[in-house]
Amino acid sequence: MHISQKFEHLLDAHRRPDGSRWTGQQLDEATGGVVTRSYFTNLRKGRIENPGYEKMKAIAKAMGFPPEAWFEEGVGRTPSVPAYEVRSLAGSVEHLIDAVRNPKTGEQYTNAEVARMTLGHLSEEDVKGIRSGANGDPTVSQVTALANVFGVEPSYLLDRGSPPLDGELVQALRDEAVREATLEISRLPKRERRLVLGIVRQFENPGEPPSG
Average pLDDT over residues 93-100: 82
The pLDDT assigned to 145 comes to 87
- Whether 186 is covered by a domain: the verdict is yes
CATH of the domain at 25: 1.10.260.40
Give the 3-state secondary structure of residue 161.
strand
- 8 Å CB contact between 6 and 51: no
Domain count, the chain: 3
**Which one-letter amino acid corresponds to residue 140?**
V
- Whether 158 is covered by a domain: the verdict is yes
Same domain, 116 and 60: no
Percent of the chain with pLDDT over 90: 24
The rounded mean pLDDT for the chain is 78
CA-only gyration radius of the chain, Å: 20
pTM of this structure? 0.48
Same domain, 98 and 162: yes
Pick the closest to residue 171 from 201, 197, 150 (CA basis).
150
Domain residue limits at 60 = 3-71
Average pLDDT over residues 104-112: 87
